[in-house]
Chain A
Amino acid sequence: MSASAIFVLDLKGKVLICRNYKGDVDMAEIDHFMPLLMQHEEEGLLCPVLSHGSVHFMWIKHSNLYLVATTNKNANASLVYSFLYKLVEVFTEYFKELEEESIQDNFVVVYELLDELMDFGFPQTTDSKILQEYITQEGTKLEVAKSKVPTTVTNAVSWRSEGIKYKKNEVFIDVIESINVLVNANGSVMSSDIVGSIKLKTMLSGMPELRLGLNDRVLFALTGRDKGKTVVMEDVKFHQCVRLSRFESDRTISFIPPDGESELMSYRINTHVKPLIWIESVIEKFSHSRVEIMVKAKGQFKKQSVANNVEVRVPVPSDADSPKFKTSTGNAKYVPEKNLVVWTIKSFPGGKEFLMRAHFGLPSVEKDELEGKPPITVKFEIPYFTVSGIQVRYMKIIEKSGYQALPWVRYITQSGDYQLRTNV
């Protein structure tokens, strides 16, 4: 059904730690993994699934590690990859950084976690907050008090423990929208969408019942209310705490939140958005002599708003040299290891227009290999503003002890995958 064994390898393919779950695949098969991977890479046919005889390797890479699952069955591939990413998440929460060193430094806990996270190839409890209640790094502390299974593990509410206490009951809500844009070289927007995310930082006592109200058009249509701006969410994904069938029937977002930080939901909006920062570029390449770059950036959002930490990244040929810049505002910097000019503007008010010129020399001898045409990318953040106009209308918090709790809401819009193709 899923993985037969899980391996953590270093960059050379040496096994750092592994766990055999089912015993139906020879553990020595992993030796074929690295040669296979190299072979595929050379042929330009890199693929997340590799197979050697009847053994299939499903792998992901994280910092200087490969996480590999083996199987000889028709495994559920999406489950395996989800699980591998979950491993990364859990290990990262345990060790801060997941890398070769942290695996070695914590091998005892890693073994314990591998034992708890999956059984016979079936993923089990993978919520790191809950795991931390009974698998801790300091083994000595474990002894009696903690060596009980938290009932949470098998509870229907498997993501929140009982008996949490806060002096001040608060919940912080972050609404973050990322704009993905793909613009053609001739300036037409090929695709654009908004990926929104609502994150919670919950500091609430007990087992609170929460209900989140958004200006969701479908909900308003259902209830017959129709005032103010509403938003059509194309696809909504929820944290497992949200009652999906309830949402399906009456669009109510009701849940018992996990403690601390979590992503409550994400959504996608397909409406055509005007790219918030519009880039016009002229890149002229005079072979054997120079490259001239002119970039104009325009803030296409409300005058009252300000975009912070704007970075316009313009690709330059890898053999360019002797950069010269001129900017109407902000700072331009050449980052040779990435073949980029990074133009940084700390504060970019809406409606404004800025200009950057760059000049590079090119060697007279042309290099052989062709270079790709990387796009211009843009990074920015606009606080107190969402492009879609989504709003948190209420957050109701009910706990049986009856305490009053305060919800705080923050909005931010930022760049997601923001690419503008160039002509050169």
Chain B
Amino acid sequence: MTDSKYFTTTKKGEIFELKAELNSDKKEKKKEAVKKVIASMTVGKDVSALFPDVVNCMQTDNLELKKLVYLYLMNYAKSQPDMAIMAVNTFVKDCEDPNPLIRALAVRTMGCIRVDKITEYLCEPLRKCLKDEDPYVRKTAAVCVAKLHDINAQLVEDQGFLDTLKDLISDSNPMVVANAVAALSEIAESHPNSNLLDLNPQTINKLLTALNECTEWGQIFILDCLANYTPRDDRESQSICERVTPRLSHANSAVVLSAVKVLMKFMEMLPKDLDYYGTLLKKLAPPLVTLLSAEPELQYVALRNINLIVQRRPEILKHEMKVFFVKYNDPIYVKLEKLDIMIRLASQANIAQVLAELKEYATEVDVDFVRKAVRAIGRCAIKVEQSAERCVSTLLDLIQTKVNYVVQEAIVVIKDIFRKYPNKYESVIATLCENLDSLDEPEARAAMIWIVGEYAERIDNADELLESFLEGFHDESTQVQLQLLTAIVKLFLKKPTETQELVQQVLSLATQDSDNPDLRDRGYIYWRLLSTDPVAAKEVVLAEKPLISEETDLIEPTLLEELICHIGTLASVYHKPPSAFVEGSRGVQHKRLPGSAGSGESVDSPDTVSAAGVSEAPPAVIPSQGDLLGDLLNLDLTPPTTSGPPPVPSSGMQMGAMDLLGGGLDSLMGDESEPPPIPLRTDTPQSPQLSHQSPSPPDYSPTELGGDLGGSPAMGAAFGAPPAVMPASFSAPVSGGLDDLFDLGGGVGMPMGAYSPPKTIWLPAMKAKGLEISGTFARRAGVIQMEMTLTNKAMSVMTDFAIQFNRNSFGLAPAGPLQVLTPLSPNQTIEVALPLSTVGPVMKMEPLSNLQVAVKNNIDVFYFSCQYPISMLFVEDGKMERQVFLATWKDIPNDNEAQFQIKDCHLNSDAASNKLQGSNVFTIAKRTVEGQDMLYQSMKLTNGIWVLAELRVQAGNPNYTISLKCRAPEVSQCVFQSYEAILKN
């Protein structure tokens, strides 16, 4: 007979009947009745009315009956707190029962009755049970302390249970130790600041001993607890790792993951050159791979964690690509995660295999999976440069399938590939255009429009294509509208004569007929730019775009560190810090990885250090644009500082220099005599709204606006470039945000300061324990300066900064100490300018302008290298006499002459000469031969080396030719680069 019979009694007056049975004299009948009560409770009926009768059955020597009554009590005590007291006596008595099973049962159940009044009666029995002779009772009592603490923390502290619990860590029974550790960890979690789990080498040793003997679950408690410990030094760290590694062979996946967590964390402290470090790395791969044969849910947790591990230490799994290949019968969540990891592991060595797989996946039927596979191909192209061509041809093959969502997804990623490798794969545009009509998703439409706009000059019917989109302008999503606006403006700047009507139409659609403030703002900005200064507009709209790299979809380093500390938990599954999804954990300190012990070792693996290399510092490229957007929008919010009307570009304005537009602008402005109003943003809230328009990190569209409007680094300079055309009425009233952008215009006619590249991140925080250094070089009033921004992204204060250079090609050395006088507190940023001398020790570097720097603070010494523009070294007295120039030019052998092309430079020869002079490149003579201007220039380096140049500029041709002659020809390449940088900025 099974228990199911208890569920079937549905007679009327059931409660009444049960009551009678519960009070029966016959033991059997009583038990049957209690079972019926529990059955009713299980199906959700309210049987609380039977409370006194059930409690009466509590005093029994039948263990099964007792358990059922206890179960009933746990469920209903809260609703009947007064009657629950009735049960207390029995509990207290049971806690002294000769049978340990009953003692444990009583103490376990009492802890589950969350009624305040009961807790005080619980203390004495609990105290006894914590010292019980039977380990089964002790291990149950240990957990009970955590239960009691949850109900009444103060009571637990007052009664000294915490100390008893701590003593249990030294218990002889491993299961008691494990439960005590679990209980303490649980309590500590709700009291982040208490020093409950005061872990010291002695307790750690006890825990490690218990680890070998307790159950699989106990091992997890202990490992999770160990993960919170910070070893004193690398030796202790290593010895703990050695004792934890055997756990990697445990059959339970959760034990393995908790062990991985401890190892990943403690590994940070091991010096990288230690043999053991390499051994440990090798030991981690096999168990991680084996996790993939666990049950699918566990596989999923493992994959989410592997995703983190691969980002932190790519070397562990770099040879294991194959195990992440997707199986037909994998659940979708496993498939998607595997795909993500495949891309992270993709490298030149395995790319062929990866692509073959991705192509296979892209022909599957599961739409989400196929989309992700197509996107993955694009990510491979961006990540592994050598594979780009193959990726593009794979994508083209996929486009040929004409499967709608495949085509759309492919176009979205091809846009990114164009961004990453400009001027390489444009031949495919024709194929893309064929599929224009099948695009119905906003993202794909926007991507296609971007492509058309970007390459308008190569697409004969670009205007027709864009016009066709314009018809349904108001039905498009914002993403598409914004893109269309930008694309048409680009088109207009490239083909002004044929597209005036179109641009007029889109500007009016965007500014007058749209309710969307972002769209209107962008429309007005373009309108103003076009009407005031088309040359500047061109520089802004068609400016070089910031780079995209695969780093964009990496988890931010500090978050990654925190997540590594949470391996195996929900945080690692969500890839979010616990504070983001656990209530009441805001005040909890974020976990961090311990620092490395080796001196001056960067925390990162050697692989990534070399890859991140000198000039790349990639993470900095994109994020900065948020601020720029803020500035841009501010310009509208700032009231004019001078009296008088706002700057109204009238149609009768001087437009001498606007050969680009010709009469075009007249028609643009003339017919509608109403000038574009100054768009006061009365209707919208904060500027950051703009950045919300296209979230989703993997596609790079958030950078679009910044890119189109000038790109982050190019921004300031682009506006200032052609000072001559700045209308006078415009420069006066602007202030605030505009100052930054236009002030450069004030320097009309004056030689501008020496060119200084925008700051780049030299030392990312993740490689320097939270210290981030970005910087640049500048020559100010004849002094070379290294200008740095130091940011403290760590949790502790940084002091005692000092700097030193390695020997370098031109003997650069700090001319004074690094002036960081006050300690740098967390999240603080300071700007430092370090004057440099050129009298330091000399050693030829490769590349020539490479500079290796060491920065020290109270935490450690960090090394980075950076490159300075050689123009910093051009001295002020670098102007050669004409005669000397001629003689020297002839004197230097022709072998030393180097010729370069500077492409896409739109300055005329005078502007170029002016610009160069700002950086101490002096024009000695100018000659015009057949419409070609030849500039003869000289410059002198700090070490006395002269460089002579001949710059050929042909009107209308944006490509300059430069010939350099120098007695030390190895500097030519650097000088050329400086030329390019100066002229283009």
Contact = CB atoms under 8 A, between A and B. Distances in A.
B155 interface: no
Interface string A389-424: 000000000000000000000000000010101000
A237 B289 CA distance: 12
A74 interface: yes
Contacts of B290: 235, 237, 268
Contact of A76 (B101, B246, B569): B569
B252 interface: yes
B983 to A, nearest CB: 51
Nearest to A95: B2
Interface in B361-413: 363-368
Nearest to B571: A74
B175 interface: yes
A72 B322 contact: no
Contacts of A370: 365
B136 interface: yes
A240 interface: yes
Contacts of B582: 54, 72-74
B189 interface: yes
Contacts of B300: 47-48
Contact of B568 (A76, A268, A372, A417): A76
Contact of B257 (A78, A185, A268): A78
Interface in A106-150: 106-108, 111-112, 115, 119-126, 134, 139, 142-143, 147-149
Given A142-B63, A148-B99, A79 B217 contact: yes
B44 interface: yes
Contacts of A143: 62-63
A115 B67 contact: yes
A154 interface: yes
A327 B289 CA distance: 40
Interface in A364-382: 370-375
Given A81-B301, A126-B217, A372-B365, A76 B258 contact: yes
A255 to B, nearest CB: 13
Interface stretch (A169-177, A244-252, A304-312): A244-252
A46 B368 CA distance: 11
B175 A158 contact: yes
A47 B182 CA distance: 28
Which of B183, B213, B250, B293 has most chain A Cβ within 10 Å? B293
Interface string A79-103: 1011111000000000000000100
Nearest to B297: A48
A298 interface: no
Interface stretch (A15-23, A209-217, A286-294, A347-355): A15-23
Interface in A331-359: none
A44 B296 CA distance: 16
Contacts of A75: 569-570
Nearest to A78: B254
A64 interface: no
B849 interface: no
Given A45-B368, A112-B67, A234-B286, A81 B297 contact: yes
A105 interface: yes
Contacts of B333: 45-48
A243 B247 CA distance: 10
B67 A111 contact: yes
Given A240-B251, A245-B246, A22 B150 contact: yes
B220 interface: yes
A185 B298 CA distance: 29
A244 B212 contact: yes
A238 B136 contact: no
Given A111-B38, A147-B63, A74 B569 contact: yes
A153 B136 contact: yes
A337 B185 CA distance: 52
A108 B186 contact: no
B301 A147 contact: no
B212 A245 contact: yes
Nearest to A180: B293
B328 A372 contact: yes
Nearest to A47: B333
Contact of B185 (A1, A54, A105): A1
B356 interface: yes
Interface in B320-337: 322-323, 325, 327-329, 331-333
Interface residues of B, number: 111
Interface string A293-306: 00000000000000
A104 interface: yes
The size class of the interface chain A forms with chain B is 35 or more
B295 A244 contact: no
A60 interface: yes
Contacts of B287: 235, 237
B360 interface: yes
B42 A107 contact: yes
Interface string A38-68: 0000001111110100101011100000000
Contacts of B68: 108, 111
A46 B139 contact: no
A237 B290 CA distance: 9
Contact of B570 (A74, A184, A195): A74
A190 interface: yes
Given A44-B366, A370-B365, A266 B251 contact: yes
A248 B247 CA distance: 9
Nearest to A109: B3
Contact of B64 (A101, A139, A156, A419): A139
A73 to B, nearest CB: 6
Nearest to A240: B216
Interface string A224-247: 000000000011111110011101
A248 B585 CA distance: 39
A148 B357 contact: no
B520 interface: no
Interface string B744-764: 000000000000000000000
A244 B247 contact: yes
Given A75-B570, A77-B570, A243 B578 contact: no
A108 B38 contact: yes
B757 to A, nearest CB: 44
A191 interface: yes
A314 interface: no
B176 interface: yes
A146 B134 CA distance: 17
Nearest to A138: B64
A71 B578 CA distance: 13
Contacts of B368: 44-45
Which of A59, A154, A158 has most chain B Cβ within 10 Å? A154
Nearest to A124: B217
B917 to A, nearest CB: 61
A263 interface: yes
30 contacts: A22-B150, A54-B583, A73-B582, A74-B569, A74-B571, A74-B582, A77-B569, A77-B570, A82-B254, A83-B217, A84-B297, A108-B68, A111-B71, A112-B67, A119-B108, A119-B140, A120-B112, A122-B182, A122-B183, A147-B101, A153-B136, A153-B175, A154-B136, A182-B325, A190-B325, A190-B353, A235-B286, A245-B212, A248-B245, A248-B249
Given A47-B300, A72-B583, 17 more contacts: A23-B150, A45-B368, A51-B581, A74-B571, A77-B569, A77-B573, A79-B254, A139-B64, A148-B99, A148-B101, A149-B134, A153-B175, A235-B289, A237-B249, A263-B251, A372-B364, A419-B327
Question: Which 3 interchain pairs have the tightest Cβ spacing?
Answer: A235-B286, A105-B2, A244-B246
Interface of B: 2-4, 6-7, 31, 35, 38-39, 42, 44, 62-64, 67-68, 71, 74, 99-102, 104, 108, 111-112, 114, 134-136, 139-140, 143, 146-147, 150, 173-176, 179, 182-183, 185-186, 189, 212-217, 220-221, 224, 243, 245-247, 249-254, 257-258, 286-287, 289-290, 293, 295-298, 300-302, 322-323, 325, 327-329, 331-333, 353, 356-357, 360, 363-368, 566, 568-574, 578, 581-583, 585
